[in-house]
Amino acid sequence: MHRILIAEPIADEGLAHLVDAADVDVKSTITRQDLLAIIDQYDALIVRSATKVDAELIAAGTRLRVIGRAGTGVDNIDVESATRHGIIVVNAPASNSVAVAELAIGLILSLARHLPQAHAHVAAGGWSRAKFMGREVRGKTLGLIGFGRIGAEVARRARALEMDVIAYDPIVSTERAQQLGVTLASVDDVLAKSDYVSLHVPLVDSTRHLINASRLKLMKSGAVIINAARGGVIDEQALAEAIAAGQIAGAAIDAYEKEPPVNSPLLGDPRIITIPHLGASTVEAQAMTGVDVAQGVLDALDGRSPRYAVNAPYIAPEDVGLVTPYTTLAKSLGKMCIGIIKEPITRYEFVYAGELATTSTGPLRIALLQGLLSGVSEQRITAINAPIIAKERGLRFSETTLPEVENYAGMLELRAHTASGVRVFSGTVLRDKPYVVELDGYWVTFEPVGSLLFTYHRDRPGMIGRVGTLLGAGDVNISSMQVGRLAPREQSLMVLTLDDFVPAEVVASLERESHIERAVALVL
């Protein structure tokens, strides 16, 4: 059974999803030291935003196959390091968008009407209405920086409040913005024109201190800023100074550079509303997040393609049925190619033919690389790190798609270029099962699973019997056998599928036979 460690609280709905399928340990108050000490016992780790899943923790997690982030931002996870170790990272990005958007609108209204300050005033026995004169948000301009899932939900709600919405996001099209009644502008224009600026970008290198002293100077003097994204997006010192100097009117902050924000310059100024990272803290969002991350973790552990994978190849939902058995075939073709060819391979060609020509071929490329590399690396090779390792090792390949293929609906071909010529390994999928149809130039048909034996030999009477006898002597049971040959009594290839592993001494005894040139035993 898979072992899953949950290192921060997730909703009961998510937990229920996991306990039926895995052995789950919930240790939501675990210290970093204890986490480092036990992480090697787990296949999966689930965290929220407080646990720093850095290179040290990832290296200690020698058994880890998946890291689940119960939420959106993955800035607390060293995704690059996880990728290098072949660990898939999944998150739950769609489940808390509305919760964060509603919070951002709440903060806009709180700034407009001084709600937290007014509440504190009355709670302390005060009753001054003049002190808390507010402004309507209707007709005011809201500037969004980052117009992805959350930005779009904020825009919808702000439009309902009759605000004008402008946005800066380098990848959003004008059409998409228009559909939501939003006008796109440059980041400087958004800052200069908005009464309210709300941030909805991820924390990445290009957004770190995106809002700094010089950008704050562009804002209108009565404007305010809302940050329910990530702390590092704003230079906190610069913001505190801009508000203290009266350059802008105030701010509402949900996320901080350091959490909790001990000694933050943002604390203590009554013009700055500070709340403890509450964006995703709704019952509804937490339930959905828990279920989404649990499903993603189980999918990754069971070899399915998770819906929200941060660092894994994407297969369009409509292509999953077609592509999945071909990825199994691709790994097998790669392993057989490397297991059989012993001369230097200068480059590879990956050919996607027939029904594969119009599908997502990215996962097939990755599976071919995974198969080619897994027999030649001590590192654990997965779909996540195979492309990086192939690049590091200088593995050269090209790709071709052919719309037509004879006899089969689709064909995946791996061509290895060597000094002696091009050596071809190809296969297809029949009734959802992968089959090899050409092995190193010989026409054969077999399922590439389990223990296999290949013999390159001269076609002579008695050869099949001889191979059977030697395998029998080594207590290896044969489940199927076929021969591909170029011409009678010429060079041939025997393919045997076996119930047992072939010991090295049996391979050696086969190779001692006068008409057997080579014998190769592989386990797929």
Smallest distance from the beta carbon of 96 to ligand MLT, in angstroms? 5
Q: Which of residues 250-269 bind ligand NAD (CB under 6 A)?
A: 254-255
Closer residue to ligand MLT in complex, CB, 234/329:
234
Span from 68-76, 132-140, 213-221, 513-521 in contact with ligand MLT (CB under 6 A) = 68-76
Position 410 contacts ligand NAD (CB under 6 A): no
Residue of 49, 51, 106, 53 whose CA lies nearest to 72: 49
Closer residue to ligand MLT in complex, CB, 71/363:
71
Among 206, 263, 407, 514, binds ligand NAD (CB under 6 A): 206
Burial group, residue 343, by CB count within 10 angstroms (0-12, 13-18, 19+)? exposed
Handedness of CA 497, 503, 507, 509 (dihedral sign): negative
**Number of residues engaging ligand MLT in binding (CB under 6 A):** 8
Smallest distance from the beta carbon of 44 to ligand MLT, in angstroms? 18
Q: How many Å separate Cα 63 from the centre of its chain?
A: 18
Q: Which of residues 74-103 bind ligand MLT (CB under 6 A)?
A: 96
Span from 79-87, 128-136, 168-176, 313-321 in contact with ligand NAD (CB under 6 A) = 168-176
Assigned token pair, 168:
């800066």
Among 229, 252, 411, 439, binds ligand NAD (CB under 6 A): 229
What does 286 bind: ligand NAD, ligand MLT, none (CB cut-off 5 to 8 Å by kind)?
Answer: none
Position 382 contacts ligand MLT (CB under 6 A): no
Among 14, 61, 68, 71, binds ligand MLT (CB under 6 A): 71
**What DSSP element (H or E) covers 190?**
helix 187-193
Burial group, residue 153, by CB count within 10 angstroms (0-12, 13-18, 19+)? buried
Q: Which residues contact 463 (CB under 8 A, 6 or more apart)?
A: 457, 492, 494, 515, 516
Question: Residue 360: helix, strand or coil by DSSP?
Answer: coil
Where would I find the beta strands (DSSP E) of 268-355?
272-274, 345-354
Closer residue to ligand MLT in complex, CB, 50/473:
50
Q: How far apart, in whole angstroms, are the C-alpha atoms of residue 463 and residue 469?
A: 10
Q: Which residues contact 326 (CB under 8 A, 6 or more apart)?
A: 356, 364, 367, 410, 412, 429, 434
Closer residue to ligand MLT in complex, CB, 311/370:
311
Closer residue to ligand NAD in complex, CB, 106/202:
202
**Number of residues engaging ligand NAD in binding (CB under 6 A):** 34
Smallest distance from the beta carbon of 146 to ligand NAD, in angstroms? 3
x/- track of binding to ligand NAD for residues 107-146 (CB under 6 A): --------------------------------------xx
What does 169 bind: ligand MLT, ligand NAD, none (CB cut-off 5 to 8 Å by kind)?
Answer: ligand NAD
Question: Residue 451: helix, strand or coil by DSSP?
Answer: strand
Among 225, 228, 367, 522, binds ligand NAD (CB under 6 A): 228
Position 279 contacts ligand MLT (CB under 6 A): yes
Assigned token pair, 144:
């969004």
Smallest distance from the beta carbon of 383 to ligand MLT, in angstroms? 25
Q: Is 394 left (phi over 0), alpha (psi -120 to 50) or beta?
A: left
Residue nearest to ligand MLT (CB): 71
Position 171 contacts ligand NAD (CB under 6 A): yes
Active site positions, annotated: 230, 259, 277
Closer residue to ligand NAD in complex, CB, 201/429:
201
Among 44, 98, 280, 436, binds ligand MLT (CB under 6 A): 280
Position 296 contacts ligand MLT (CB under 6 A): no
- CA-CA distances (angstroms) from residue 104 to 162, 197, 201, 278, 515? 16, 10, 13, 10, 78
* Contact criterion met (CB below 8 Å) for 380 and 86: yes
Residue of 307, 405, 317 whose CA lies nearest to 356: 405
Burial group, residue 39, by CB count within 10 angstroms (0-12, 13-18, 19+)? buried
Buried/exposed 162-188: b ≥16 CB within 10 Å, e otherwise: ebbbbbbbeebeeeebeebebebbebe
Binding site for ligand MLT (CB under 6 A): 48-49, 71-73, 96, 279-280
Interface positions with ligand NAD (CB under 6 A): 71-73, 93, 96-97, 100, 145-151, 168-172, 200-203, 206-207, 210, 228-230, 254-255, 277, 279-280
